[in-house]
Amino acid sequence: MRKSTLRISALGMMFSFALAFGQEKTDTLAVKNAVNAVTKQEEGVKTVTTSSKEDNNRNVMLNAANNTSPRDVNIGLPSTVGGITILENDLPAVYFFWPELPNKTWRQSVGLEKTGLLKMDQLANTMGDLGFAVNSYSQTGTKDFKLKGKLTTSTFGWLQGDVNASGPVSKNGWTYTVGAFANFDPSTYKLGFARNADETKIFRAGVTKYFNNDKGKISILYKYADSYSITNYAVFQYGPEGKVTELGNFKIGRDSYVVRDGQMRVKDIMTGEYSWRSMNGNDNRTTSHNIDVFGNYLLNNGWNFKFSTRAHFARAKMSNMIPLSIFNADAAAGYALASNGQAYSGPVGTILGCIHRKPRLPVWQDVFL
């Protein structure tokens, strides 16, 4: 097999441009992708051959803590993405993960044609990152009409709708794809100020042009995402010999440890001024626009030219409340009930509140494969 690979990377202070392309000999592609593992017996010796890429449509496990992102695999080494790397059309879902987390613009969806896993060596060679990666490809236009969808619910009121349609536009190779994903998840606890702990909407639309004689195709896809999520915590008491017990008035997994009105008072580190911010309003919402152009073309010399480029525009805001400690205070400490001003004595919880904002800037990402 002959394979040509080139990688160049460039980042600008304000923006950069993303392009990915690669070439592979087509007569070896069929051999490489035909089987993922072949086992044979020769002279009493068992030989196992496996593919170097894990690009099949493998199941991607969701995180045990929530249903918004793939499961993180901690390998004990630092990562630049804050968890597992998520790729879409061979490019990272987000390049600057904080505060625009990958799950604010990417979800497991029928709007994805294929989802698989990349091993650590594949991710290191292509993206220069450490760990494992989820590699996914958007659903492109199809020559025949296809309709995919699913509806998910739970006894707690979780509603998730997911649908995608694709088909031909004309007889000269033009096709379309359109889809929508909506997640309204209240989780298992009542926040008091919002119905949903996660609310995410993703809309997709695009066209695909198939070249004559099955030479390849080119797709132009647009994706819009609007998402906010609220992280909750549980409070419990440590006992001797590692024993953990619930507090009498707090049920783990059912009660919320976030303030009931969802408001927090923050100080601007630049001006020193105080203001109030919301956990579920515009202070905790991320919106993004993606324009992807990708495809492949079979050259006359037998090489398969693959390319992928993306323009990404985002406005990211995230509000966090992080519990720090709980201590007992008496009436002389000066605490009072906000409802009536009565002096308070008892447990007092301290919470760190912070808000991160990223201005709306265009980001074109440069990666050559």
Q: Could you write out the DSSP letters of every residue in 290-325? A: EEEEEEEEE-TTSEEEEEEEEEEEEEEEEEEEEEEE
pLDDT of residue 29: 38
The pTM is what?
0.78
Confidence of residue 126 (pLDDT cuts 50, 70, 90): confident
Instruction: Summarize pLDDT for 6-39 with one digit per residue, the tens.
Output: 333 333 333 334 444 444 444 443 333 433 333 3
Return the structure tokens found at 215: 């030479």
Secondary structure class of 224 (helix, strand, coil)? strand
Backbone angles phi, psi at 304, to 5 degrees: -100, 110
- Looking up tokens 């298992």 gives 188
Mean predicted confidence (pLDDT) in 253-266: 89
Mean predicted confidence (pLDDT) in 73-94: 77
CB 294 within 8 A of CB 90: yes
Secondary structure class of 29 (helix, strand, coil)? helix
Helical (H) or strand (E) element with 28: helix 26-34
The CB-side HSE value for 89 (13 A sphere, CA atoms) comes to 31
When the pLDDT of each residue in the chain is averaged and rounded to a whole number, the result is 80
Q: Residue 153: beta bridge partners?
A: 159
First to last CA, the chain: 17
Which residue ranges make up each domain of the chain?
3-32+140-364
Q: What is the DSSP string of 232-291?
A: ----EEE-GGG-EEE-TT--TTTS--S-TT-EEEEE-TTT--EEEEESSSGGG-EEEEEE
Mean predicted confidence (pLDDT) in 270-299: 91
Contacts 24+ apart (CB under 8 A), 158-162: 158/184, 158/185, 158/186, 158/187, 159/183, 159/184, 159/185, 160/184, 160/185, 162/109, 162/110, 162/111
**Is the confidence at residue 154, as pLDDT, over 50?**
yes
Return the structure tokens found at 279: 């956990």
Q: How many CB atoms lie within 10 A of CB 198?
A: 21
Mean predicted confidence (pLDDT) in 104-115: 94
Q: Which amino acid is at 118?
A: L
